[in-house]
Amino acid sequence: MRVPALDLKAQYATIRDEIEPVLLELCASQGFVLGPEVDALEREIAAYVGAPHAIGCASGTDAIVLALRALGVGPGDEVVTTPFTFFATAGAIALVGARPVFADIEPSSFNLDPARCEAALGPRTRAIVAVDLFGQCADMRAILEIARRRRVPVVEDAAQSLGAEHRGARAGAMTLTTFSFYPSKNLGGFGDGGMITTADDEQARVLRQLRVHGESSRYVHERLGQNSRLDALQAAVLRIKLRHLDEWTAARQERAARYTESIARPGLRDVVRLPRVSEHATRHVYNQYTVRVPDREGLRAALAERGVGSAVYYPIPLHLQPCFRDLGYAAGDFPESERAAGEVLSLPLYPELTAEQQAYVVDCIASYYGAG
Ligand SMILES: *Cc1c(COP(=O)(O)O)cnc(C)c1O
Protein backbone atom coordinates (compact mmCIF):
# COMPACT_ATOMS: atom_id res chain seq x y z
CA MET A 1 0.00 0.00 0.00
CA ARG A 2 1.11 3.56 -0.70
CA VAL A 3 -0.02 6.51 1.41
CA PRO A 4 1.43 9.78 0.12
CA ALA A 5 1.77 12.70 2.54
CA LEU A 6 -0.46 14.71 0.22
CA ASP A 7 -2.55 13.50 -2.73
CA LEU A 8 -3.76 16.37 -4.89
CA LYS A 9 -4.53 14.11 -7.83
CA ALA A 10 -7.10 12.21 -5.77
CA GLN A 11 -8.94 15.45 -5.07
CA TYR A 12 -8.73 16.63 -8.67
CA ALA A 13 -10.31 13.39 -9.86
CA THR A 14 -13.44 14.23 -7.82
CA ILE A 15 -13.93 17.73 -9.31
CA ARG A 16 -12.40 17.45 -12.76
CA ASP A 17 -15.76 17.59 -14.54
CA GLU A 18 -16.63 20.86 -12.79
CA ILE A 19 -13.23 22.48 -13.31
CA GLU A 20 -12.40 21.75 -16.93
CA PRO A 21 -15.25 23.64 -18.65
CA VAL A 22 -14.57 26.71 -16.51
CA LEU A 23 -10.90 26.68 -17.44
CA LEU A 24 -11.78 26.44 -21.13
CA GLU A 25 -14.14 29.40 -20.81
CA LEU A 26 -11.36 31.37 -19.18
CA CYS A 27 -9.00 30.57 -22.03
CA ALA A 28 -11.64 31.79 -24.46
CA SER A 29 -12.12 35.02 -22.49
CA GLN A 30 -8.35 35.78 -22.30
CA GLY A 31 -9.02 37.84 -19.18
CA PHE A 32 -6.32 36.65 -16.80
CA VAL A 33 -5.62 39.18 -14.07
CA LEU A 34 -8.21 40.25 -11.45
CA GLY A 35 -11.63 40.75 -13.10
CA PRO A 36 -15.08 39.28 -12.43
CA GLU A 37 -13.94 35.84 -11.19
CA VAL A 38 -11.68 37.48 -8.60
CA ASP A 39 -14.44 39.93 -7.57
CA ALA A 40 -16.82 37.02 -7.09
CA LEU A 41 -14.30 34.98 -5.08
CA GLU A 42 -13.63 38.00 -2.85
CA ARG A 43 -17.34 38.31 -2.10
CA GLU A 44 -17.65 34.59 -1.43
CA ILE A 45 -14.64 34.42 0.91
CA ALA A 46 -15.84 37.54 2.76
CA ALA A 47 -19.22 35.86 3.27
CA TYR A 48 -17.61 32.53 4.18
CA VAL A 49 -15.51 33.97 7.01
CA GLY A 50 -17.93 36.73 8.02
CA ALA A 51 -15.79 39.76 7.12
CA PRO A 52 -17.00 42.91 5.36
CA HIS A 53 -14.05 42.98 2.92
CA ALA A 54 -11.83 40.43 1.19
CA ILE A 55 -8.95 41.45 -1.09
CA GLY A 56 -7.26 38.91 -3.35
CA CYS A 57 -3.51 38.95 -3.91
CA ALA A 58 -0.72 36.84 -5.37
CA SER A 59 0.16 34.63 -2.37
CA GLY A 60 -0.22 34.11 1.35
CA THR A 61 3.20 35.65 1.83
CA ASP A 62 2.17 38.79 -0.08
CA ALA A 63 -1.03 38.90 1.95
CA ILE A 64 1.07 39.33 5.13
CA VAL A 65 3.37 41.86 3.45
CA LEU A 66 0.38 43.88 2.20
CA ALA A 67 -1.38 43.71 5.59
CA LEU A 68 1.73 45.00 7.35
CA ARG A 69 2.15 47.76 4.74
CA ALA A 70 -1.50 48.75 5.19
CA LEU A 71 -0.78 49.12 8.91
CA GLY A 72 2.17 51.36 8.08
CA VAL A 73 4.76 48.93 9.45
CA GLY A 74 8.27 49.56 8.12
CA PRO A 75 11.93 50.11 8.99
CA GLY A 76 12.61 50.75 12.68
CA ASP A 77 9.47 48.92 13.77
CA GLU A 78 9.22 45.65 15.63
CA VAL A 79 6.61 42.99 15.00
CA VAL A 80 6.01 40.25 17.57
CA THR A 81 5.32 36.76 16.24
CA THR A 82 5.89 33.05 16.82
CA PRO A 83 9.12 31.30 15.82
CA PHE A 84 7.22 28.05 15.18
CA THR A 85 5.52 28.71 11.84
CA PHE A 86 6.21 28.59 8.13
CA PHE A 87 9.08 30.89 7.19
CA ALA A 88 6.84 33.37 5.35
CA THR A 89 5.31 34.73 8.57
CA ALA A 90 8.58 36.23 9.75
CA GLY A 91 9.92 36.62 6.21
CA ALA A 92 7.10 39.04 5.44
CA ILE A 93 7.91 41.09 8.54
CA ALA A 94 11.55 41.38 7.46
CA LEU A 95 10.53 42.12 3.84
CA VAL A 96 8.72 45.30 4.90
CA GLY A 97 11.89 46.35 6.71
CA ALA A 98 10.68 45.65 10.23
CA ARG A 99 12.33 43.44 12.83
CA PRO A 100 10.71 40.13 13.81
CA VAL A 101 10.61 39.76 17.60
CA PHE A 102 9.80 36.22 18.60
CA ALA A 103 7.73 34.95 21.52
CA ASP A 104 7.43 31.26 22.37
CA ILE A 105 4.43 28.97 21.79
CA GLU A 106 2.01 27.07 24.00
CA PRO A 107 3.19 23.44 23.74
CA SER A 108 -0.37 22.07 23.60
CA SER A 109 -1.55 24.06 20.54
CA PHE A 110 1.79 25.02 18.91
CA ASN A 111 0.38 28.57 18.73
CA LEU A 112 1.69 31.85 20.11
CA ASP A 113 1.48 31.98 23.92
CA PRO A 114 -0.46 35.16 24.79
CA ALA A 115 1.50 35.83 28.00
CA ARG A 116 4.84 35.46 26.23
CA CYS A 117 3.53 37.61 23.38
CA GLU A 118 2.67 40.37 25.84
CA ALA A 119 6.09 40.12 27.49
CA ALA A 120 7.73 40.63 24.08
CA LEU A 121 5.91 43.92 23.36
CA GLY A 122 8.09 47.01 23.59
CA PRO A 123 8.06 50.69 22.69
CA ARG A 124 8.88 49.92 19.04
CA THR A 125 6.25 47.20 18.59
CA ARG A 126 4.00 48.21 15.70
CA ALA A 127 2.09 44.96 15.21
CA ILE A 128 1.55 41.39 16.39
CA VAL A 129 1.29 38.57 13.84
CA ALA A 130 -0.51 35.59 15.37
CA VAL A 131 -0.57 32.34 13.38
CA ASP A 132 -3.36 29.74 13.31
CA LEU A 133 -1.11 26.72 12.91
CA PHE A 134 -2.22 23.36 11.50
CA GLY A 135 -5.90 24.40 11.23
CA GLN A 136 -6.56 25.71 14.73
CA CYS A 137 -6.89 29.37 15.74
CA ALA A 138 -4.42 30.95 18.11
CA ASP A 139 -5.93 32.18 21.38
CA MET A 140 -7.25 35.24 19.56
CA ARG A 141 -9.46 36.54 22.37
CA ALA A 142 -6.47 36.73 24.73
CA ILE A 143 -4.17 38.15 22.06
CA LEU A 144 -6.69 40.77 20.88
CA GLU A 145 -7.34 41.80 24.48
CA ILE A 146 -3.63 42.35 25.10
CA ALA A 147 -3.34 44.19 21.78
CA ARG A 148 -6.28 46.45 22.61
CA ARG A 149 -4.81 47.33 26.01
CA ARG A 150 -1.38 48.00 24.50
CA ARG A 151 -2.77 49.70 21.38
CA VAL A 152 -1.01 47.40 18.93
CA PRO A 153 -2.79 46.10 15.79
CA VAL A 154 -2.98 42.36 15.15
CA VAL A 155 -2.60 40.45 11.90
CA GLU A 156 -3.89 36.88 11.98
CA ASP A 157 -1.97 34.57 9.62
CA ALA A 158 -4.68 32.03 8.82
CA ALA A 159 -2.89 30.52 5.79
CA GLN A 160 -3.56 27.03 7.19
CA SER A 161 -6.93 27.75 8.73
CA LEU A 162 -9.63 28.95 6.37
CA GLY A 163 -12.90 28.00 8.08
CA ALA A 164 -11.39 27.55 11.56
CA GLU A 165 -13.36 29.05 14.44
CA HIS A 166 -12.35 30.53 17.78
CA ARG A 167 -15.17 30.79 20.33
CA GLY A 168 -17.62 30.68 17.43
CA ALA A 169 -15.92 33.37 15.33
CA ARG A 170 -14.23 32.43 12.06
CA ALA A 171 -10.62 33.20 11.28
CA GLY A 172 -10.93 36.28 9.11
CA ALA A 173 -13.73 37.89 11.11
CA MET A 174 -11.75 38.85 14.22
CA THR A 175 -9.00 41.11 12.91
CA LEU A 176 -6.97 41.90 9.77
CA THR A 177 -6.40 38.35 8.49
CA THR A 178 -4.35 36.73 5.74
CA PHE A 179 -4.98 33.51 3.82
CA SER A 180 -3.04 31.41 1.32
CA PHE A 181 -4.35 29.34 -1.58
CA TYR A 182 -1.11 27.43 -2.06
CA PRO A 183 -2.06 23.96 -3.38
CA SER A 184 -1.44 22.18 -0.04
CA LYS A 185 -3.78 24.43 1.95
CA ASN A 186 -7.35 23.35 2.71
CA LEU A 187 -8.56 25.55 -0.16
CA GLY A 188 -5.74 25.27 -2.70
CA GLY A 189 -5.52 26.70 -6.20
CA PHE A 190 -3.58 25.54 -9.24
CA GLY A 191 -0.61 27.67 -8.24
CA ASP A 192 -0.08 30.59 -5.86
CA GLY A 193 -2.77 32.88 -4.50
CA GLY A 194 -3.71 34.75 -1.34
CA MET A 195 -6.44 36.84 0.31
CA ILE A 196 -6.74 39.43 3.06
CA THR A 197 -9.91 40.09 5.04
CA THR A 198 -10.71 43.15 7.10
CA ALA A 199 -13.65 44.92 8.72
CA ASP A 200 -12.07 48.34 8.16
CA ASP A 201 -13.24 50.19 5.02
CA GLU A 202 -10.14 52.40 4.84
CA GLN A 203 -7.79 49.41 5.27
CA ALA A 204 -9.62 47.64 2.44
CA ARG A 205 -9.26 50.69 0.18
CA VAL A 206 -5.51 50.92 0.91
CA LEU A 207 -5.02 47.18 0.34
CA ARG A 208 -6.75 47.41 -3.05
CA GLN A 209 -4.29 50.13 -4.01
CA LEU A 210 -1.22 48.42 -2.58
CA ARG A 211 -1.74 45.29 -4.70
CA VAL A 212 -1.68 47.35 -7.92
CA HIS A 213 1.39 49.56 -7.45
CA GLY A 214 -0.44 51.92 -5.11
CA GLU A 215 -2.64 53.11 -7.96
CA SER A 216 -5.62 55.20 -6.80
CA SER A 217 -6.94 56.01 -10.28
CA ARG A 218 -5.47 55.19 -13.68
CA TYR A 219 -1.72 56.04 -13.65
CA VAL A 220 -2.02 57.98 -10.39
CA HIS A 221 0.03 56.34 -7.65
CA GLU A 222 -1.08 57.56 -4.27
CA ARG A 223 1.38 55.35 -2.39
CA LEU A 224 4.18 52.92 -3.14
CA GLY A 225 2.63 49.56 -3.81
CA GLN A 226 3.59 46.35 -5.54
CA ASN A 227 2.35 43.93 -8.18
CA SER A 228 0.41 41.36 -6.20
CA ARG A 229 -2.78 40.41 -8.00
CA LEU A 230 -4.81 37.24 -7.98
CA ASP A 231 -5.26 35.55 -11.35
CA ALA A 232 -8.74 34.93 -12.76
CA LEU A 233 -7.77 31.31 -13.42
CA GLN A 234 -6.97 30.74 -9.75
CA ALA A 235 -10.15 32.49 -8.66
CA ALA A 236 -12.24 30.33 -11.01
CA VAL A 237 -10.72 27.13 -9.62
CA LEU A 238 -11.01 28.35 -6.02
CA ARG A 239 -14.68 29.27 -6.45
CA ILE A 240 -15.48 25.74 -7.53
CA LYS A 241 -13.44 24.24 -4.69
CA LEU A 242 -14.99 26.59 -2.11
CA ARG A 243 -18.35 24.91 -2.71
CA HIS A 244 -16.78 21.66 -1.47
CA LEU A 245 -14.80 23.10 1.41
CA ASP A 246 -17.24 22.33 4.24
CA GLU A 247 -17.66 18.75 3.10
CA TRP A 248 -13.85 18.40 2.82
CA THR A 249 -13.38 19.93 6.26
CA ALA A 250 -15.84 17.42 7.74
CA ALA A 251 -13.87 14.64 6.04
CA ARG A 252 -10.62 15.97 7.53
CA GLN A 253 -12.20 16.13 11.00
CA GLU A 254 -13.50 12.58 10.64
CA ARG A 255 -10.08 11.29 9.64
CA ALA A 256 -8.41 13.19 12.47
CA ALA A 257 -10.84 11.57 14.94
CA ARG A 258 -10.05 8.19 13.42
CA TYR A 259 -6.29 8.69 13.95
CA THR A 260 -6.89 9.86 17.50
CA GLU A 261 -8.98 6.82 18.27
CA SER A 262 -6.62 4.27 16.75
CA ILE A 263 -3.41 5.81 18.12
CA ALA A 264 -4.95 5.89 21.61
CA ARG A 265 -4.67 2.10 21.85
CA PRO A 266 -2.52 0.50 24.54
CA GLY A 267 1.17 0.39 23.72
CA LEU A 268 0.94 3.30 21.31
CA ARG A 269 -0.74 6.01 23.37
CA ASP A 270 2.25 6.29 25.71
CA VAL A 271 4.67 6.78 22.81
CA VAL A 272 2.82 9.01 20.34
CA ARG A 273 1.50 12.29 21.71
CA LEU A 274 -1.73 13.33 20.04
CA PRO A 275 -2.64 16.84 18.88
CA ARG A 276 -4.76 18.71 21.42
CA VAL A 277 -7.78 20.76 20.48
CA SER A 278 -7.80 23.97 22.54
CA GLU A 279 -10.97 24.55 24.54
CA HIS A 280 -11.50 27.84 22.67
CA ALA A 281 -11.12 26.18 19.24
CA THR A 282 -14.74 25.65 18.24
CA ARG A 283 -13.75 24.46 14.75
CA HIS A 284 -10.40 22.84 13.99
CA VAL A 285 -10.00 22.39 10.22
CA TYR A 286 -6.98 20.05 10.37
CA ASN A 287 -4.73 21.31 7.63
CA GLN A 288 -2.31 18.99 9.41
CA TYR A 289 -2.61 16.15 11.89
CA THR A 290 0.58 16.65 13.85
CA VAL A 291 1.80 14.30 16.57
CA ARG A 292 4.91 14.34 18.73
CA VAL A 293 7.07 11.25 18.66
CA PRO A 294 10.39 10.01 20.04
CA ASP A 295 13.10 9.06 17.52
CA ARG A 296 11.26 10.93 14.78
CA GLU A 297 13.82 10.48 12.03
CA GLY A 298 13.91 6.72 12.59
CA LEU A 299 10.12 6.55 12.38
CA ARG A 300 10.01 8.70 9.23
CA ALA A 301 12.54 6.48 7.49
CA ALA A 302 10.65 3.32 8.52
CA LEU A 303 7.37 4.81 7.26
CA ALA A 304 8.96 5.87 3.97
CA GLU A 305 10.29 2.34 3.51
CA ARG A 306 6.75 1.02 3.80
CA GLY A 307 5.29 3.58 1.39
CA VAL A 308 3.93 6.03 3.95
CA GLY A 309 4.68 9.71 3.43
CA SER A 310 4.97 12.15 6.33
CA ALA A 311 6.23 15.69 6.82
CA VAL A 312 7.98 17.78 9.41
CA TYR A 313 6.42 21.21 9.89
CA TYR A 314 8.78 22.72 10.95
CA PRO A 315 12.26 21.33 11.64
CA ILE A 316 14.03 24.65 12.31
CA PRO A 317 12.39 27.36 14.41
CA LEU A 318 12.66 30.74 12.76
CA HIS A 319 14.92 32.37 15.37
CA LEU A 320 17.58 29.83 14.33
CA GLN A 321 17.30 30.41 10.57
CA PRO A 322 20.56 31.54 8.95
CA CYS A 323 18.96 34.63 7.39
CA PHE A 324 17.90 35.85 10.86
CA ARG A 325 21.38 35.46 12.41
CA ASP A 326 21.65 39.21 12.77
CA LEU A 327 18.62 39.31 15.06
CA GLY A 328 20.94 37.89 17.73
CA TYR A 329 18.90 34.92 18.90
CA ALA A 330 20.50 31.67 20.05
CA ALA A 331 19.53 28.06 20.66
CA GLY A 332 17.73 27.84 24.00
CA ASP A 333 15.88 31.15 23.60
CA PHE A 334 12.51 29.53 22.80
CA PRO A 335 12.55 26.07 24.37
CA GLU A 336 8.95 25.12 23.50
CA SER A 337 9.43 25.93 19.82
CA GLU A 338 12.77 24.12 19.76
CA ARG A 339 11.32 21.05 21.45
CA ALA A 340 8.37 21.03 19.03
CA ALA A 341 10.75 21.36 16.05
CA GLY A 342 12.53 18.21 17.24
CA GLU A 343 9.42 16.13 17.92
CA VAL A 344 6.62 16.97 15.47
CA LEU A 345 5.50 14.72 12.66
CA SER A 346 2.53 15.39 10.38
CA LEU A 347 0.73 12.25 9.23
CA PRO A 348 -1.09 11.98 5.88
CA LEU A 349 -4.46 13.73 6.22
CA TYR A 350 -6.74 14.76 3.36
CA PRO A 351 -10.41 14.26 2.56
CA GLU A 352 -9.66 11.43 0.10
CA LEU A 353 -7.59 9.37 2.56
CA THR A 354 -9.26 5.97 3.00
CA ALA A 355 -9.88 4.10 6.26
CA GLU A 356 -7.63 1.29 4.96
CA GLN A 357 -4.81 3.73 4.32
CA GLN A 358 -5.18 5.18 7.80
CA ALA A 359 -5.20 1.78 9.46
CA TYR A 360 -2.03 0.94 7.53
CA VAL A 361 -0.32 4.17 8.67
CA VAL A 362 -1.12 3.44 12.31
CA ASP A 363 -0.02 -0.20 11.98
CA CYS A 364 3.30 0.94 10.53
CA ILE A 365 3.80 3.34 13.45
CA ALA A 366 2.83 0.66 15.97
CA SER A 367 5.22 -1.88 14.50
CA TYR A 368 8.09 0.66 14.54
CA TYR A 369 7.64 1.16 18.27
CA GLY A 370 7.11 -2.56 18.88
CA ALA A 371 3.52 -1.87 19.85
CA GLY A 372 1.90 -3.71 16.97
C1 LIG B 1 1.60 28.70 3.46
C2 LIG B 1 1.83 29.67 4.56
C3 LIG B 1 2.19 31.00 4.31
C4 LIG B 1 2.58 31.50 2.95
O5 LIG B 1 1.65 31.32 1.96
P6 LIG B 1 2.11 31.29 0.42
O7 LIG B 1 0.83 31.33 -0.31
O8 LIG B 1 2.86 30.01 0.23
O9 LIG B 1 2.96 32.47 0.17
C10 LIG B 1 2.30 31.87 5.37
N11 LIG B 1 2.08 31.46 6.64
C12 LIG B 1 1.76 30.19 6.92
C13 LIG B 1 1.50 29.80 8.35
C14 LIG B 1 1.63 29.25 5.91
O15 LIG B 1 1.32 27.98 6.21
Residues 229, 271 share a domain:
no
Residues 275, 230 share a domain:
no
Residues 319, 227 share a domain:
no
Give the model confidence (pLDDT) of 335-348 as tens digits.
999 999 999 999 99
Residues 198, 80 share a domain:
yes
Please tell me what DSSP assigns to residue 84: S
Atom of ligand 1 nearest to the CA of 194: 7
Strands (E), 34-98: 53-57, 78-81
CA of 218 to the centre of ligand 1 (A): 31
Distance CA 233, CA 38 (A): 9
* Residue 21 DSSP SS3: helix
61 lines ligand 1 (CB under 6 A): yes
Distance CA 149, CA 157 (A): 21
Residues 54, 96 share a domain:
yes
143 in Cβ contact with 171 (< 8 Å): no
Distance CA 277, CA 314 (A): 19
Residues 257, 132 share a domain:
no
Q: Provide the pLDDT for residue 372.
A: 65
Handedness of CA 289, 61, 197, 39 (dihedral sign): negative
178 lines ligand 1 (CB under 6 A): no
CATH number at residue 159: 3.40.640.10
CA of 142 to the centre of ligand 1 (A): 23
Residue 3 within a domain = no
Structural domains of the chain, count:
2
Residues 143, 80 share a domain:
yes
Residues 216, 268 share a domain:
no
Residues 338, 262 share a domain:
yes
Choose the final residue of a domain: 185, 214, 238: 238
Residue 1 within a domain = no
Q: Tell me whether the omega of the peptide bond preceding residue 360 falls within 30 degrees of 0, making it cis.
A: no
56 lines ligand 1 (CB under 6 A): no
Residues 215, 295 share a domain:
no
* Residue 225 DSSP SS3: coil
Q: Which domain holds residue 165?
A: 8-238
Q: Provide the pLDDT for residue 272.
A: 97
179 lines ligand 1 (CB under 6 A): no
pLDDT-flagged residues of the chain (< 50): none
Q: Please tell me the pTM assigned to this model.
A: 0.98
177 lines ligand 1 (CB under 6 A): no
169 - beta bridge partners? 166
Distance CA 236, CA 269 (A): 44
Q: Provide the pLDDT for residue 50.
A: 98
Residue 27 within a domain = yes
Residue 66 within a domain = yes
Distance CA 198, CA 10 (A): 34
Give the model confidence (pLDDT) of 184-236 as tens digits.
999 999 999 999 999 999 999 999 999 999 999 999 999 999 999 999 999 99
CATH number at residue 319: 3.90.1150.10
Look at ligand 1, atom 5, and give the residue with the nearest C-alpha. Answer: 60
* Residue 370 DSSP SS3: coil
194 lines ligand 1 (CB under 6 A): yes
